[in-house]
A and B are shown apart, each in its own frame.
Chain A
Amino acid sequence: MGLTGIQIFKLLPKTNCKECGSPTCLAFAMALAGGKAELDKCPYVSDEAKATLSEASAPPIRGVVIGTGDKAKKVGEELVFYRHEKTFLNPTAIACLVTDAMDDAEVDAKIDNLNNVQFERVGLTLEADLLAVRCVSGDAGKFEALVKKALGATEKGLIIMADDFAALEAGAKAASGKGALLYAATADNCDQVAALAKETGASVVAKGASIEEVADFTGKIVSGGVKDIVIDAGARDIKSMFYNDNQIRRAALKAKNRDLGFPTIDLVCDMTDDPYKEAMLASLAIAKYGAIVVMSDIDKERMLPLFVQRLNIYTDPQRPMVMDEGIYEINKPGPDSPVIITTNFALTYFIVAAEIEASRVPTWLLIMDVEGMSVLTAWSAGKFVADAMAPFVVKSGIRDKINHNKIIIPGYVAQISGEFQEELGSDWEVVIGTREASDIPAFLKAL
């Protein structure tokens, strides 16, 4: 990252010993610059050169892992501004806030939501990621008890939030070794908080009233031995949140500003009391560069749109979402229900399934693996064609579930109906369906 082949070459021994596998040091330097070789291959490189090169090859926005084990969540490491440029890598972490001013029942209900509100989609489990535990009482003992309770109640990573250092220390020590994120180090106490984070294996939020203020002391935290930093540049309204997240990413990616090369946290829970507005702010964080967003609750109705938005925005544009091949049951189909076949492009599936569901007609939906292509693309690529579809239909076992022999194909591939009929044999009757998914309900009702 950043260094050219020639710049790297200057740091190498220039002996052309060939032990790295490259014919010359210059060739090796070029390979390094292109990301096609590892520096470890050179047995004679100096420690100084190693340090310079690893510094230069570190990602412009640091990756920070919060929590431990299966539920550990990584944020940061983003490389672009627009998802079409490459892809967004680590989806925005969604956190739920509890405080030591809440009664037990409220805390339990929120942690229960955090643990249990989840949705299955394209073979993934969509869920929230972190628990933010905040001290508002100023009482270190009370706060420590809440952190301990939280540790026992969820496996998700913790954000430990206290303005008072004694409380922060009590909470951090209770969560020592759990990869917590400490909130927050400020210009005044950053040395102290960095030492606490180092001692307890935690990462640190650098908090200031502005980007300028934060940029001034993240370097001190790094010098204190903590590289895992998250930035809160003080935004408490939508406009400054948009500005900060935008400018911090620009500083990291365009200006290569190491002092701002960290993921950001957006405390939308402190920006509004309206749950709808809070969801809008969270959706902004997801689309425009927030790495962690802290919300007041993880309720089903708000998380469904937010999790799906996050899934959509963070999907790799080069790799379409796909569904597993197989038989999908919609509206509880029975032996006399119709059978529709289409491809495993997730968008095709969702649109077709939604229309079938809306029709309320019980239907078997056969999803065929064509590497995530839409119907027409898969047909022109020779994947959604008669001699591939027929064996799939037979192998799927759908015939054992029905007492008729009709199979409905998408109207866009009407031209394959004859050949498909031939491949399937007289056992089956191929029916041409609609071209547009939106016409499916009328079609099914008229069957």
Chain B
Amino acid sequence: MAFSALTEKYSGKMGTLTFGSGDQAITVGGQAAMPFCTFDGEIPNKPIVAMEVYDVVDPEWPAAVVDPFKDVINDPIAWAKKNIDEYGAKAICLQLASTDPNGENKSADYAAELVSKMIEAISVPLVVWGSGNVEKDAEVLSKICEVNEGKNLLIGPAVEENYKKIAAACLGYGHNVVSQSPIDVNMAKQMNILISNLGLPMDKIIMEPSTGALGYGVEYSYSVMERISLAALAQNDEKMQCPITNDLGKECWKAREVKLTEEEEPAFGPDLEKRGVLWEAITGFDMLLAGSNLLIMRNPKAVKLVEECIDELLA
């Protein structure tokens, strides 16, 4: 039986989201095919990697994610510039770890001002990520929205317990929201419905289905994202047609496989950088293969590996 190529045509397609302003704005999503299946349908926008910078760095970070930023690690703005100028970052994600009440507990005003300075200083779109503390994020992120009105930032994560305040601030002050749900297709959809019921249009929402690193639940994220993508494309489920993002840098770089030295675990081998870079790059690649539109990553080498795969697969 001779070979003839088979293509999949879907009735639906993923929606788009644009963040950043002016000619620096980036659009993600809009694909009418499963990841990299350009032979099935149009993939108009390449997935993007946003490189993260932290306003406070955990002293436990492995050398492989300290060394590339050693000179700027105490200055998130200089760090962001280095990511852009030296490592070619297409977008920046500011991780507001210092606002965590269990850490430095810095104020919403501090965070809002830092974001303003960051917007001034950098030439690429900005993602702003809270500490993950539900109450504090509601306060900090909505303040950031207000102070930086009209800047079309991407702000998150909004979860079931705090989405009302965060999504309302995004709606009121012209930003986009990250809708985070706990590794479950139905809950991802439910969050999209709840947020759009507040009046935020679907093209201002991106889903974060909760990201597990290799060895720490990557297969759950992977299958949830494949199911979301199929629901959006094959079933044309409008409430599943928000693009997808994955906050994976922080998940990867705390894995024991990345942190333990050869003395602590001889089976893992001596080259910690290689191990760590590939842990993050392969986790990122898996997320792309499952349907991600926007990855949030840390190590410049890992970012480059992933971006090369994107470019070559979509060439």
Q: Which residues of A are interface residues toward B (Cβ below 8 A)?
A: 82-84, 118-121, 211-212, 214-216, 237-239, 242-243, 246-247, 250-251, 254-255, 257-260, 275-277, 279-280, 283-284, 287-288, 299-302, 304-306, 308-309, 312-313, 315, 317, 347, 350-351, 353-354, 357-358, 439, 442
B283: min CB distance to chain A, Å: 8
A383 to B130 alpha-carbon distance, docked (Å): 36
Residues of B in contact with A, size category: 35 or more
Q: Does B17 interact with chain A (Cβ within 8 Å)?
A: no
Show 28 residue pairs from A and B whose CB-CB distance is below 8 angstroms, ordered by the A residue. Answer: A83-B219, A84-B223, A121-B215, A216-B2, A238-B309, A246-B37, A254-B6, A257-B3, A276-B301, A277-B308, A279-B281, A280-B285, A299-B269, A301-B270, A302-B274, A308-B257, A309-B214, A309-B218, A312-B222, A313-B286, A317-B223, A347-B216, A351-B216, A351-B217, A354-B254, A357-B259, A358-B254, A358-B256
Assess whether A215 is in contact with B255, with CB atoms less than 8 Å apart. Answer: no
B276: min CB distance to chain A, Å: 9
Assess whether B282 is in contact with A309, with CB atoms less than 8 Å apart. Answer: yes
Q: Does B275 interact with chain A (Cβ within 8 Å)?
A: yes
A417: min CB distance to chain B, Å: 22
Residues of chain B in range 19-50 having any CB-CB distance to chain A below 8 Å: 36-37, 39
CB contact under 8 A between A276 and B281, given known A215-B1, A260-B3, A312-B218 = yes
B312: min CB distance to chain A, Å: 5
> Chain B contact residues: over half helix, strand or loop, or mixed?
helix
Assess whether A305 is in contact with B257, with CB atoms less than 8 Å apart. Answer: yes
CB contact under 8 A between A215 and B269, given known A277-B308, A308-B214, A358-B259 = no
Assess whether A242 is in contact with B36, with CB atoms less than 8 Å apart. Answer: yes
Assess whether B216 is in contact with A283, with CB atoms less than 8 Å apart. Answer: no
Nearest B residue to A283 via CB reads: B282
CB contact under 8 A between A315 and B309, given known A215-B3, A280-B282, A354-B255 = no
CB contact under 8 A between A276 and B274, given known A283-B285, A309-B286, A350-B215 = yes
Pick the residue among B212, B256, B267, B275 that contacts A305 (CB under 8 A): B275
A164: min CB distance to chain B, Å: 28
Q: Does B102 interact with chain A (Cβ within 8 Å)?
A: yes
Residues of chain B in range 263-315 having any CB-CB distance to chain A below 8 Å: 267-271, 274-275, 277-279, 281-282, 285-286, 289, 301, 305-306, 308-309, 312-313, 315
A353 to B260 alpha-carbon distance, docked (Å): 13
CB contact under 8 A between A347 and B274, given known A82-B223, A211-B3 = no
Nearest A residue to B269 via CB reads: A300
A216 to B37 alpha-carbon distance, docked (Å): 25
Chain A residues closer than 8 Å to B259, beta-carbon distance: 357-358
A300 to B270 alpha-carbon distance, docked (Å): 9
Nearest A residue to B40 via CB reads: A246
Which 10 A-B residue pairs are closest in the complex by CB-CB distance?
A300-B269, A301-B274, A312-B219, A215-B3, A84-B223, A250-B6, A301-B275, A301-B269, A308-B215, A283-B282
Q: Mark B220-235, 1 if CB is under 8 A from A, else 0.
A: 1011001100100000
A305 to B280 alpha-carbon distance, docked (Å): 9
Assess whether B255 is in contact with A237, with CB atoms less than 8 Å apart. Answer: no
Assess whether B227 is in contact with A84, with CB atoms less than 8 Å apart. Answer: yes
Assess whether B217 is in contact with A212, with CB atoms less than 8 Å apart. Answer: no
Pick the residue among B36, B37, B216, B271 that contacts A354 (CB under 8 A): B216
Chain B residues closer than 8 Å to A258, beta-carbon distance: 1
Nearest A residue to B217 via CB reads: A347
Which of B278, B286, B313 has the largest number of chain A CB atoms within 10 A? B278
A246 to B102 alpha-carbon distance, docked (Å): 47
CB contact under 8 A between A354 and B256, given known A251-B6, A301-B278, A304-B268 = yes
Q: Does B104 interact with chain A (Cβ within 8 Å)?
A: no
Q: Does B120 interact with chain A (Cβ within 8 Å)?
A: no
Assess whether B278 is in contact with A312, with CB atoms less than 8 Å apart. Answer: no
Assess whether A305 is in contact with B313, with CB atoms less than 8 Å apart. Answer: no
A283 to B305 alpha-carbon distance, docked (Å): 12
Assess whether B216 is in contact with A304, with CB atoms less than 8 Å apart. Answer: no
A374: min CB distance to chain B, Å: 11
Chain B residues closer than 8 Å to A284, beta-carbon distance: 285, 289, 309
Assess whether A83 is in contact with B223, with CB atoms less than 8 Å apart. Answer: yes
A259 to B3 alpha-carbon distance, docked (Å): 8
CB contact under 8 A between A317 and B60, given known A283-B282, A304-B268 = no
